[in-house]
Structure 1
């Protein structure tokens, strides 16, 4: 496979990935807000609406980022999109931690404690991903020809 052919195949795969990701975000917005809606989830309280608003913003940002990456398939744009969407994911996790919109009925397992431990652990992983993505973006901006 020639270098141009490999780039073309990679570009098509990236565009397909961006399209699928945007489509998944649209589907999630519909599932969360329209049908069946977040209110049917039995362990979520009414305070979950405060988290849903932030999650909706995150999904909308994801749609915009993926559509931009679809139209402008440049590595730097994709890396910037990764930084933005990961930062928004961190904001959603923070909001979920602050609001803690869960009410677990199953008393045989302490799901609340598990969630209170898991949320910050996931937050640390997402923060590390954000740092890694920011470094990758900085490197791509300094040396745009590097792959």
Structure 2
């Protein structure tokens, strides 16, 4: 949360995006959606701190990934970069990184929807949620509504 506020301050107030020599005059065209992504990220983090439910965190992940995808596609469209007379093909590198970021967001959205569907169907969100089996060799049960793990009564 603090890092989001600091990043907002550095981008919009001081020293501002103008301090970066590779950003050009088209940058304000992406600042709106970029700032919205920072606000959504901060709101989701605050909400997750207040509500500790697996499905709630999953919805927040979907929201932040959708906004992130929107930011990256807007940057691709506007491409507010000026690398001057560099002999290195920086625009190509940035475009490749933007494609990779979009792919990462798309994968995240798909995976979070799968997790949400699994929770809605009463299945654990993951195979074992990264937890090792108990001493008896059995995994606990995750309540799909709360996301809280409970030991199964095997006796």
Q: TM-score range by the shorter chain?
A: 0.7 to 0.9
Pick the structure with more helix per residue: 1
Partner of 1:51: 30
Q: Which runs of 5+ in 1 are unaligned?
A: 1-21
2:102 matches 1:123 = yes
**Cα separation, 1, equivalents of 2:121 and 2:6:** 36
Of 103, 114, 119 in structure 2, the residue corresponding to residue 140 of structure 1 is 119
Q: How many residues align?
A: 126
Runs of 4+ in 1 over 4 A off after TM superposition: none
**Cα separation, 1, equivalents of 2:9 and 2:120:** 36
Higher relative contact order (CA 8 A, sep 6+): 1
Write the mapping of 1:88-103 to structure 2, written as runs, cut at 5 A: 88-103=67-82
TM-score (norm 2): 0.75
RMSD, matched Cα: 1.5
Q: Which runs of 5+ in 2 are unaligned?
A: 123-141, 148-155
Pairwise CA distance, 1:145: 1.1
Partner of 1:80: 59
TM-score (norm 1): 0.79
> Rg larger in 1 or in 2?
2
